Structure 1
Amino acid sequence: MAVLSAQQQSAAEYSLERVSPVDGRVVSRETAYDRDHCLGLTAQAAAAFPQWSGLRATERAAFLVTAARELETRRDDFLASMADEIGAPAEWALQNLHFAAEILRETATYAQEVEQVEPLPERRGLDSRAVRMPCGVCLCISPWNAPLVLGARAIAMPLLCGNTVLLKGSEFAPRTFRMFGEVLEAAGLPEGVARVILTRAEDSEEVVEALIASPVVRRVNFTGSTRVGRRVAELSAKHLKRSLLELGGQSAMLVLGDADIDLAAAAALEGAYTNQGQVCMSTERLIVADDLADALIVRIEEGRRKLKFGDPREAATQVGPVISIDAAERLTGLISDALSKGAELVGGGKARDAFLEPTLLDRVEPDMRVYREEVFGPILAVTRVANDLEAITVANDSEYGLACAVFSANEERAGIVAEQLHSGICHINRCTIDDTPHAPFGGVKSSGYGRFGGRWAIHEFTELRWLTRARKPGV
């Protein structure tokens, strides 16, 4: 079971309401739980661990494949929920659903690798090997901006490795996460193996502290802001729990002097304005060779003006509202600060309620907040540079290091630049936004540590053990 039945609900319940950024209506009313109730669910997850971890990895993989199928059957429900709760345009919501299903299916293909035994060099009379074992209960904390992808990614490999999971969903997308829990339930996961929990914002810190402190929780993964990630890291370290942190980003796209302008403009538009710039890999900083900048900015502005901006519930909409009115006000503050210090507004910049026009700023310099802070909104900031070395210096002048991209007609030149960038992910002549279940996904510096994806995630969610066996005399 993945969600609580009415008979299981305790008195420690609260109503969790979500007001839509689209029109200010209450669009979700879900049940949230307090610390003690969540600790009770942790105990149930611990009780389910022996049976679940005792299954073959191929058996556990079958549940993931079934969950992917169940997820896709509820396509329309999820698209409507994500439009209502987080203002997701239909194209982004649909990508979310399909990629979440892909994560579940492709993670299942690593079943044999999970159970792989590595023989160690022989010693006289001794067999020796290294094996990976499940850890126990894994606490998974996922944000609102890509709820299906980030929810699926948080639990898929932990489950395949034989752990049981508690997935704490965001209060900004409570209906979406509740329905994701129903998908897991429909997939037939045994009782207690995978729980989706929701809490009120004011209870979240207390609940997370208690869950990390619980002796049965052995792994923590968190996707979200660097500010909260630091707190999760502190708590995990205090209790000697390994954590995987995928945190903030401030992705830079470097356009060198010989780059294809059309290719770069298309990538900048996609990277900056997909999901209103609310993607951890969003292109926030466009670092451009000065002799190419004017022509590139003209091309980007032409594309920006063509973007369909408005109600995400309309099929043609490409850019909707940001997550809240508070977020929009913070973003307009970044724009005002930049303009007051000499930046130029090429286009956009107007806000109404939670709607902020896709915005293009030119001549952004290091003393401006938009240069330093994670934007997480539809603002593309252009900084002009004289040469490749300055481009590298500006790109690395950030506390974040998740994704970046380099554009050049000369692949060798682009590769030399890419090697010097401080990021966990780098693309050449491609948008900063990309993901696959088979790649090591994660960042450096204040963008976190650890890796989701592929065989690297197996290492995050298992314990490595050394096993020896004495041979019988004469063998």
Structure 2
Amino acid sequence: MINEELKSLGIENHHKGTSTGTAWFGSGDRIESRSPVDGKSIGHVSCTAMPDYERAITTALSAKSAWSNLPAPNRGEVVRQFGEKLRLHKNELGRLVSYEMGKSYQEGLGEVQEMIDICDFAVGLSRQLYGFTMHSERPAHRMYEQYHPLGVVGIISAFNFPVAVWAWNAALALVCGNVIIWKGSEKTPLCSIACQKLLTEVLTANHLPEGISSICTGSADVGRWMAEDARIDLISATGSTRMGKQVAATVATRLGKSLLELGGNNAIIVTPHADLKMTIMAAVFGAVGTAGQRCTSTRRLIIHEDVYEHVRDALTSAYQQLKIGTPLDTENHVGPLIDTDAVKHYLSALSEIKKEGGTLLVEGQVLQGEGYESNCYVKPAIAEVENHYAIVQKETFAPILYLIKYRGEVSEAIALQNAVAQGLSSSIMTNNLQEAEHFLSHRGSDCGIANVNIGTSGAEIGGAFGGEKETGGGRESGSDAWKAYMRRQTNTINYSNTLPLAQGIKFNF
């Protein structure tokens, strides 16, 4: 089904990692990539063993100086060419993302478009890696700040965005003068190889050394090697809060830098002043898009009692119209979960909802029969719950939407929204200016992303992406997120013939 796309992307149906000219590393055990769409095997990939990992590191270190010594606009030109390469292969890569991960083909195309957009952003950034000039307290002195490359950036990404999140990090890290090593999810290894292959073609065409970009494939062991390795200056890790805590603790023991993008437990507040048609659209897409497997997926709907019944009934009606099936069919709204382990977590969450006293308004189930042979398709569920339930406090990576009622002012709804450990994305649906501004104030949402009259899911690359609390505090993509990939340096220049000291200190001899 996907063979033509694999050939177009330069990778065959069965894969063994090599190093020369391709810069991916694997001589260890082979893992199988099996599509959640139809349960069929796409191919096999050899995992990275420790000798392979060492070669990846030494190759990256050997390329570091050559790459960082290129002027930033020249590095931007290479990234621009990569963006053009992605434009040429957008359809094939989008289809591979859809088939290997399970999201809809339209979402797969959107993910590749994110890669193109961040390349465009990075190209412009390559001419604006700016510092600041400050006035010195000492006469005939000049003081300023500048930014330098860190060196080696390690990227650990998750299955749900198998290409875009890497590109967010890779495009910025590269224009900032770093070399990169990527551990993609072992659940979507062919997406990683395809991206590396395309970037390698650009690097080779520009006569640049191997090691500027490398990938390592495997289980959590590879991620642990990266986190422990003092030769890697920054670890950017995207995934669960549990994983992020392990990475943060390991990197901290060597006083390294980490950039964390972790779990979300995102809520939409629906006030009596909301446009309810827009609300339903935002809630349904946010809850069922990517089968609920986005870190920004809508998990909770906090609804004022005056409009609660209307929203509840409209949602349950909308869910009856959802089409569930192969994501390669653009008529379908919901594809599969990533694997049968994810299905088990989904079923466990439904069981916990009932145990804690919640009511399932739309019952969930695993779908079987023709078209569902992978056993990864599930029915999106809606449950009436209380915000304090233990299951509600967790992030369940599945299409389960919790309805929670509030009765007072918008401050009560905000308190409910903030009363979880995660702090990624949030939204309020209201046409009341006071409610909107309250939500966006320091007394409002405690999340890294706060939206008005749009959902929690879907972020533009121009803004910094990330969250607070157990979401990790990192920022990727737009705005000044590039600073995370560079080291900051303050410079003072004395152009006088004397040596005045700061703070007026006198030192005579």
Indicate whether the TM-score tops 0.5.
yes
Pick the TM interval, shorter chain. Answer: over 0.9
Between the two proteins, the alignment pairs up a number of residues equal to 468
Q: Separation in 2 of the partners of 1:24 and 1:313?
A: 14
TM-score normalised to structure 1 length: 0.93
Question: Which stretch shows the higher mean deviation, 253-262 or 78-87?
Answer: 78-87
Quote the residue 1:71 is aligned against.
Answer: 86
Gaps of 5+ in 2: 1-16, 368-374, 499-509
Specify whether residues 133 and 20 from structure 1 end up closer, same or farther in structure 2 by C-alpha distance, changes over 3 A only: same
* 1:88-127 aligned within 5 A: 88-114=103-129, 116-122=130-136, 123-127=138-142
Quote the residue 2:197 is aligned against.
Answer: 182
* 1:188-207 aligned within 5 A: 188=203, 190-201=208-219, 204-205=220-221, 207=222
1:445 is aligned, of 436, 453, 469, to 469
Gaps of 5+ in 1: none
Q: Separation in 1 of the partners of 2:270 and 2:131?
A: 46
Q: Separation in 1 of the partners of 2:66 and 2:403?
A: 55
Q: Separation in 1 of the partners of 2:281 and 2:324?
A: 17
* 1:339-350 aligned within 5 A: 339-350=354-365
Question: Which stretch shows the higher mean deviation, 464-473 or 170-179?
Answer: 464-473
Quote the residue 1:460 is aligned against.
Answer: 484
CA RMSD of aligned residues (A): 2.1
Quote the residue 2:389 is aligned against.
Answer: 368
Q: Deviations over 1:326-375 (max 9, x none)?
A: 1112112211221243322222411132111121222x124534311101
Which AA in structure 1 matches 2:404?
T
Specify whether residues 55 and 88 from structure 1 end up closer, same or farther in structure 2 by C-alpha distance, changes over 3 A only: same
Specify whether residues 418 and 125 from structure 1 end up closer, same or farther in structure 2 by C-alpha distance, changes over 3 A only: closer
Quote the residue 1:384 is aligned against.
Answer: 405
Give the share of equivalent positions with the same residue, in percent: 25
Which AA in structure 2 matches 1:445?
K
Quote the residue 2:378 is aligned against.
Answer: 356
Q: Separation in 2 of the partners of 1:195 and 1:9?
A: 9
Quote the residue 2:260 is aligned against.
Answer: 245
Specify whether residues 127 and 243 from structure 1 end up closer, same or farther in structure 2 by C-alpha distance, changes over 3 A only: same
SS at match of 2:480: helix
Which AA in structure 1 matches 2:267?
A
* Residues 1:431 and 2:455 are matched in the alignment: yes
* 1:73-472 aligned within 5 A: 73-114=88-129, 116-122=130-136, 123-188=138-203, 190-201=208-219, 204-205=220-221, 207-352=222-367, 353-362=375-384, 364-366=385-387, 368-387=389-408, 388-419=410-441, 420-471=444-495
Shift of residue 473, structure 1, vs aligned partner? 4.3
Shift of residue 14, structure 1, vs aligned partner? 2.8
Shift of residue 472, structure 1, vs aligned partner? 5.6
Q: Separation in 1 of the partners of 2:428 and 2:22?
A: 56
- Contact preservation (8 Å) 1:91, 1:318: no
- Contact preservation (8 Å) 2:464, 2:478: yes
- Contact preservation (8 Å) 2:169, 2:477: no
Specify whether residues 254 and 232 from structure 1 end up closer, same or farther in structure 2 by C-alpha distance, changes over 3 A only: same
Q: Separation in 1 of the partners of 2:191 and 2:325?
A: 22
Q: Separation in 2 of the partners of 1:346 and 1:11?
A: 48
Q: Deviations over 1:179-230 (max 9, x none)?
A: 00011112226223443423332xx33x333323333211111111110100
SS at match of 2:203: coil
Which AA in structure 2 matches 1:452?
E
SS at match of 1:405: strand
* Residues 1:50 and 2:65 are matched in the alignment: yes
- Contact preservation (8 Å) 1:118, 1:129: yes
- Contact preservation (8 Å) 1:18, 1:172: yes
- Contact preservation (8 Å) 1:442, 1:449: yes
Q: Separation in 1 of the partners of 2:95 and 2:463?
A: 30
* Residues 1:40 and 2:55 are matched in the alignment: yes
